[in-house]
Amino acid sequence: MTKRLAPVMLALSLACGVVPAQDAGSVGVSFQVGDQDSVGVIWHASRVFALRPLLTYDSLEYTSYYSPYYGSVTEHVSLYGIDLGLLFTVHSQDNLHLYTGAVLQYSRTHSDRGGDSDTRGAELLFGMRYMIVKRLGVFGEIGMQYRDGNGWADQVDYGLFTGGLGLTFYLN
């Protein structure tokens, strides 16, 4: 399934052609909740392309039970990251905008039980933004992701994702 999604997303992106979405030079502040909460800026470099850097944060608490002699052990894990996305509008009609894009990611994870790890990754996404009013839009994204970590979280992870929901407040 995952191997088929990339060509389908690429074909849909190219078949739809170029469609203007926001005015060139528009700048907005984006807030997104989902797997990782994020805040960032979206800048529409043209009526078709947008650049979206995001700062991400996540905090987790694990409670593990090792044995009846030692009881439970709690571990706090914090994740800080940055995403850099390039978005391409594929269809726009009235207040509804469909887009696709690619995102490069870097994150650092810290555990209070010792050890840090770095993760690099990439996403291919398809999103939808609905402008509620002229300067306020709500959006959601789905796609595929790949992540490669080192340190105590040394693993390769890939698959489909849902990016949660977000709000964008346009400043101009």
Can you name the residues that pair with 117 across neighbouring β-strands? 109, 151
Residue 3: the pLDDT is 54
Residue 67: the pLDDT is 63
Q: Which helix (H) or strand (E) holds 7?
A: helix 2-16
Can you name the residues that pair with 1 across neighbouring β-strands? none
* CA distances (Å), origin 18, targets 27, 66, 99, 101, 141: 20, 57, 10, 13, 20
Q: Residue 139: which CATH number?
A: 2.40.160.20
The DSSP call for residue 94 is T
C-alpha dihedral (89, 92, 95, 99), degrees to nearest 10: -30
Question: CA-to-CA distance for 72 and 78, rounded, in angstroms?
Answer: 20
Q: pLDDT 10s digit of each residue in the chain, 172 long?
A: 445 545 544 444 444 444 345 678 899 999 999 877 899 999 999 989 999 999 999 888 877 766 677 777 788 889 999 999 999 999 999 999 999 999 999 999 888 877 788 999 999 999 999 999 999 999 999 999 999 988 755 678 889 988 889 999 999 8
Residue 84: the pLDDT is 97
Q: What angle do CA 82, 87, 88 make, to 5 degrees?
A: 170
Question: CA-to-CA distance for 60 and 71, rounded, in angstroms?
Answer: 20
Total number of domains constituting the chain: 1
Residue 10: the pLDDT is 47
- pTM score: 0.77
For residue 95, which of 138, 130, 123 has the smallest C-alpha distance?
Answer: 130
Residue 85 sits in which domain range?
2-170
